[in-house]
């Protein structure tokens, strides 16, 4: 059986976890957490990167820092994971969903302005498959309407748009280190903060509303409760696991890109016959091979292909069921404009097996099966 995902292991994970245990420091913000934060700050150029318990929690932190209040509105695509919306719904916000572009499956930047009202507080672009949204346009719209931009860059670690790391272009960026992502700590994430003035409050929100981070740095002599917050800092054991991977990020990235390019090469002939559509990478974007997906003609053909692959030992999956049609999406959100592509394109999409160290033989076998399926 060829799995859809295998969590990444690159070598030093256990050694670093043992070191964390030896340091007698397994709660948050020890040596390994600091190493991971410093890596992100250096690699992306963000003012501050705070390691969190998940990308969902990083987005919740961004919603708190953005002071989202009941009745406020946020604009995002409907083709995304639930957390993108949930983080704002928890603060009482209404979600305005807009359609996606069929080429990248990202939010259609030309439709955002139609969804903006005087209650809108933020735009939340999602960089699907680690391929950047049209950020110049999105930032222009945000500036014009005085809105915050909170990037869901869960899938975008090591990707960039016009040379800028995804997650560093808007006011806040949210990364995921879930086991299905390119770099993992089991469950985890990070919040990237652009404005240095927001760092102190972010540290407070992450530490249960206390100024404990300042206390640990010796800047104050006792710590106290100063704001509303929660517990968003991950254990050192998880950070140690992540550090083993970030340390080898280029190697992991090259390995994934090699797999991605091989899929592309092998599937191009079928795409040229117009049986399937392959992913599109805009010229402004460098991507991280987070995902290799293909698009079939329609839902029926997709179901048949997934079954065929499964019968032949390959697990391929689909996602997302658009949020606007889901029960919570109907309760907390509203689709603005016409759903021209969100539902239609989401029903065509199949994700092929993709993970660190996926073998060439396996990729070749998957591509062969797809060719055989369309030769029938
Ligand atoms: C994985 C993912 C998330 C959630 O990440 P967690 O770390 O599991 O909370 C959010 N948004 C998108 C687009 C994702 O792919």
The residue whose CA has the least distance to atom 5 of ligand 1 is: 55
Per CATH, the architecture of 249-375 is what? Alpha-Beta Complex (3.90)
Say which residues have a Cβ less than 8 Å from residue 214's Cβ, sequence separation at least 6.
200, 203, 220, 223
Residue 56: CB within 6 Å of ligand 1?
A: yes
Residue 53: CB within 6 Å of ligand 1?
A: no
Query: Among all chains, which residue has been given the structure tokens 């939340």?
Result: 124
pTM of the model: 0.98
Ligand 1 pocket test, pick from 87, 172, 178, 180 with the greatest ligand atom count within 8 Å of Cβ, gives 178
Q: Report which ligand 1 atom has the smallest distance to the Cα of 54.
A: 7
Say which residues have a Cβ less than 8 Å from residue 197's Cβ, sequence separation at least 6.
none
Task: Give 187's DSSP letter.
Answer: S
Q: Report which ligand 1 atom has the smallest distance to the Cα of 58.
A: 9
Mean pLDDT of 36-51: 98
State pLDDT tens for residues 141-185: 999 999 999 999 999 999 999 999 999 999 999 999 999 999 999
Residue 376 confidence (pLDDT) above 90: no
Residue 52: CB within 6 Å of ligand 1?
A: no
Task: Work out whether strand 94-98 and strand 120-123 pair parallel, antiparallel, or are unpaired.
Answer: unpaired
**Where along the chain do its domains lie?**
13-246, 249-375
Per CATH, the architecture of 13-246 is what? 3-Layer(aba) Sandwich (3.40)
Assess whether the region 13-246 and the region 249-375 belong to the same CATH fold.
no
Quick one: tokens of 155?
Answer: 């899938």
Concerning whether 297 is annotated as a catalytic residue, the answer is no
State pLDDT tens for residues 186-230: 999 999 999 999 999 999 999 999 999 999 899 999 999 999 999
What pLDDT does residue 141 have?
A: 98
Residue 155: CB within 6 Å of ligand 1?
A: yes
């Amino acid at each position: 059986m060829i799995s859809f995902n295998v969590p990444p292991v690159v070598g030093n994970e256990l050694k670093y976890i043992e070191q964390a245990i030896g340091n007698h420091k397994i709660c948050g913000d020890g040596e390994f957490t600091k190493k991971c934060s410093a890596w992100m700050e250096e690699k992306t150029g963000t003012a501050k990167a705070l390691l969190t318990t998940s990308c969902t929690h990083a987005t919740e932190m961004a919603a708190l820092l953005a002071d989202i209040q009941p009745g406020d509105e946020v604009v995002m695509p409907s083709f995304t994971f639930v957390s993108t919306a949930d983080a704002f719904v928890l603060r009482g916000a209404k979600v305005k969903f807009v359609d996606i572009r069929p080429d990248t499956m990202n939010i259609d930047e030309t439709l955002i302005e139609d969804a903006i009202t005087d209650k809108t507080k933020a735009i939340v672009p999602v960089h699907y498959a680690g391929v950047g949204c049209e950020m110049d346009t999105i930032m222009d719209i945000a500036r014009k309407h005085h809105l915050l931009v909170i990037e869901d860059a869960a899938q975008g670690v090591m990707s960039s748009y016009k040379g800028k790391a995804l997650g560093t272009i808007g006011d806040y960026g949210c990364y995921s280190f879930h086991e299905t992502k390119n770099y993992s700590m089991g469950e985890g994430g990070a919040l990237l903060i652009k404005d240095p003035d927001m760092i102190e409050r972010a540290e407070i929100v992450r530490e249960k509303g206390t100024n404990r981070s300042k206390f640990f740095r010796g800047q104050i002599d006792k710590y106290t409760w100063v704001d509303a917050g929660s517990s968003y800092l991950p254990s050192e054991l998880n950070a140690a696991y992540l550090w083993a991977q970030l340390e080898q990020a280029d190697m992991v990235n090259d390995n994934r890109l090699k797999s991605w390019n091989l899929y592309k090469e092998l599937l191009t002939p079928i795409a040229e016959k117009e049986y399937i559509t392959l992913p599109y990478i805009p010229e402004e974007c460098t991507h991280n091979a987070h995902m290799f997906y293909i698009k079939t003609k329609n839902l029926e053909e997709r179901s048949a292909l997934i079954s065929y692959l499964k019968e032949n030992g390959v697990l391929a999956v689909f996602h997302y069921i658009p949020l606007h049609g889901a029960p919570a999406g109907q309760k907390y959100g509203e689709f603005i404009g016409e759903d021209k592509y969100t539902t239609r394109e989401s029903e065509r999409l199949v994700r092929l097996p993709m993970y660190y160290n996926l073998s060439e033989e396996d990729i070749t076998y998957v591509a062969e099966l797809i060719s055989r399926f369309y030769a029938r």
